[in-house]
Structure 1
Amino acid sequence: MSDPLRPRASLRTAVVWEVLREALDRQAKHSGRSGDDALDVLDTGGGTGNFAVPVARLGHRVTVVDPSPDALFALERRAAEAGVTDLVRAVQGDAHGLLDVVDREAYDVVLCHGVLEYVEDPEGALRNVVGALRESGTLSLLAAGRNGAVLARAIAGHFTEAQRGLADPDGRWGEGDPLPRRFTGEDLTRLVTAAGLDVASVHGVRVFADLVPGVLVDTEPGQLEALLQLELAAAALPAFRSIATQLHVLARRG
């Protein structure tokens, strides 16, 4: 089977997959449940299964919670196409009501990707997410980066919007901004720590991918892989992490 975590589209998600795959392997080795290496994974806000289905293809049991029935329908279709229907469960719900639809302390790994930007109460939502983790469980948190958005607006020539994003408490660049809020690495670290977890790592995601014109990547052989390797190399460096479009935090309970 080809590597499910390195498709062409992984240019935008490669860093998350690299960190997440290592975390899943590590968690499976230390789960200690009767020799069963399969993990119970919760993907809150998992939508159509961009992460859930590849994780299931690795042999793990994945529960996806999402408020959209259409997204969950697409998830089930994608899981069927990938041959992992028996490993993927779709549940309608959201982060604020998470513990009403899933069991508390029932999951080895919880993914919370692209959720905190949209919820009214990020702190409360994250507490619920952490509540679903087993002791010694792992959280994978992905959220929009404030500084990356400021840089992108400036490079596009929208200097006034860039300045607004720099000054706005939620990192929004104007009324037309599609995101309710963005975060710095320090913001996310503070939220995770307040929720009772220990931060293991912080990586920048899409440091360059959203800034490089597609024509530079698509027209010459090897350019896509070279850019992907550049993303991986820069992801953990603080100077580049701080300007990433997204920030990925890996944290552990206990």
Structure 2
Amino acid sequence: MSDQPRPRASLRTAVVWEVLKDALDRRAKATGRDTLDVLDTGGGTGNFAVPVARLGHRVTVVDPSPNALFALERRAAEDGVAERVSGVQGDVLGLFDVVERGGYDAVLCHGVLEYVDDPAEGVRNAVDALRPAGALSLLAAGLGGAVLARALAGHFTEARHALSDPAGRWGDGDPVPRRFSAEQLTGLVTAAGMEVGAVHGVRVFADLVPGVLVDTEPGAVDALLKLEAAVAELPSFHAVATQLHVLGEKRA
């Protein structure tokens, strides 16, 4: 997998990265521009922003944490892309206090909707930041993956609770405020005026396989990466994915 600096860590990001990279390539060809303007809402320390900048694109990261933005600045400098990465403090619900509407070829909204009070408004803002035919990369926690994980850990009551809870939470100790089904996420995207291009299940197996197996078995990381890629677009596995990824295109 290209631009994945740490093989073990890539189990969490590889599927999304490959989809995003292909989407940026298509957008660059469609516009005839090698350098795109990319917005990463909630981009934190630059797990995606810095690799996107290494592709030659300009990336603006909006994040509420000043510490994360400081780490982003340092990371971008260490990777030699500081001139293509800028960070600004803010959040997706107040997005247009800090960035312009309709100014971006692609918007990343990864791990954000779980934590905002109004996910629908968050998606609408992300879409409004796009230029016509721009791409939205939306990644959020999946309900089914949490249910499966609690059940496999022997917490059967919590697993059942998550199924009936409106926010998909398994109890008061759940650190994730909200989870989504694939239907909920695609509904948010289409309601905001986007065409859904693809839906991917992310970390279908990676969070369930014992770490010692992946770390010690020769070739296990590569084999697991290939398995994750093989099932990512299969709807039958979306229901058990830890995360769900939706790629959308703004209507022209």
Shorter chain as denominator, the TM-score bin is over 0.9
The SS at the match of 1:29 is helix
RMSD of Structure 2 on Structure 1 (CA): 1.0
1:220 and 1:100 map into 2 onto residues whose CA distance is: 49
Equivalent of 1:234 in 231, 235, 241: 231
| Residues 44, 11 of structure 1: alpha-carbon distance in 2 compared, 3 angstrom cutoff | same
1:10 counterpart residue number: 10
1:58 and 1:5 map into 2 onto residues whose CA distance is: 13
Q: Which runs of 4+ in 1 moved over 4 A?
A: none
1:79 and 1:3 map into 2 onto residues whose CA distance is: 18
Equivalent of 1:67 in 64, 69, 72: 64
2:134 counterpart residue number: 137
Q: CA deviation at 1:6?
A: 5.9
1:40 counterpart residue number: 37
2:151 counterpart residue number: 154
Would you say the 8 A contact 1:200–1:251 is kept in 2?
yes
Is 1:199 the equivalent of 2:196?
yes
2:185 counterpart residue number: 188
2:28 counterpart residue number: 28
Note the alpha carbon deviations across 1:32-60, whole angstroms, 9 max, x for none: 3xxx3110000000000000000000100
Note the alpha carbon deviations across 1:200-228, whole angstroms, 9 max, x for none: 00000000000000111111210110011
Note the alpha carbon deviations across 1:176-202, whole angstroms, 9 max, x for none: 000111000000000000000000000
Is 1:213 the equivalent of 2:210?
yes
The SS at the match of 2:92 is coil
Would you say the 8 A contact 1:108–1:138 is kept in 2?
yes
Would you say the 8 A contact 1:162–1:173 is kept in 2?
yes
Residue 117 of structure 1 aligns to which amino acid in structure 2? E
Is 1:172 the equivalent of 2:169?
yes
TM-score (norm 2): 0.97
Structure 1 unmatched runs, 5+: none
Residue 4 of structure 2 aligns to which amino acid in structure 1? L
1:125 and 1:79 map into 2 onto residues whose CA distance is: 26
Equivalent of 1:53 in 37, 43, 50: 50
Is 1:224 the equivalent of 2:205?
no
Q: CA deviation at 1:126?
A: 1.1
Residue 2 of structure 2 aligns to which amino acid in structure 1? D
1:245 counterpart residue number: 242
2:94 counterpart residue number: 97
Residue 18 of structure 2 aligns to which amino acid in structure 1? E
1:10 and 1:167 map into 2 onto residues whose CA distance is: 32
Q: How many residues align?
A: 250
Equivalent of 2:122 in 121, 125, 129: 125
Q: CA deviation at 1:150?
A: 0.3
Would you say the 8 A contact 1:188–1:249 is kept in 2?
yes
TM-score (norm 1): 0.97
The SS at the match of 1:152 is helix
Structure 2 unmatched runs, 5+: none
| Residues 130, 82 of structure 1: alpha-carbon distance in 2 compared, 3 angstrom cutoff | same
2:231 and 2:2 map into 1 onto residues whose CA distance is: 23
2:114 and 2:83 map into 1 onto residues whose CA distance is: 31
